[in-house]
Copies of this chain bind each other. A is one copy, B any other.
């Protein structure tokens, strides 16, 4: 499992970092020239931490799993594939200054990635048995995972009414994962 971790770290580190390439330095040397970049910086911020939360969860799940499997390897590759689309969808929001569709699809890509993340965790559970630490972690995290799905679904819906409200939902979803879980001792 060591290489699955190292490889995933590499892919996620690159995904996080290439998004900053969209922040192009303006030609003017005044602070006012940075103002038009604020929306791009904002979407970079949310994407960075959305992907960051996936990394934090990946780290915790893999730490709790002792055994891997052929299925785990493939679902992990699929999870990385969906994560690799984040720079594209972040960009699309920027290009269009937070129009309804791009903001809604940013939520959709989050939901799809979350779905594949969840399949990966289930593959880990079936490789490690129903009484393994990863199985217990899955049970413990379920309420938060469900809440996250609900927040993204709400974000997608309200994006068509007011995109910035949809965006606020995505910020909320990231913040949900910043709350420490008392049960997650020994992390």
> What residues make up the interface of A, taking CB atoms closer than 8 Å to B?
3-7, 9-18, 20-21, 23-31, 45, 48-49, 52, 55-56, 59, 62-63, 68-71, 73-74, 77, 80-81, 84-85, 87-89, 91-92, 94-96, 99-102, 105, 178, 180-181, 184, 187
Report which of B31, B87, B101 forms a contact with A20, defined as CB distance below 8 A: B87
The residue of chain B having its C-beta at the shortest distance from the C-beta of A22 within the complex is B25
Query: In the complex the two chains form, is A13's CB within 8 Å of B7's CB?
Result: yes
- Option from B9, B23, B91 in Cβ contact (under 8 Å) with A25: B91
Total copies of this chain within the assembly: 4
- Whether B17 contacts A68 by the Cβ 8 Å rule is no
- Name the residue of chain B whose CB is nearest to the CB of A14: B17
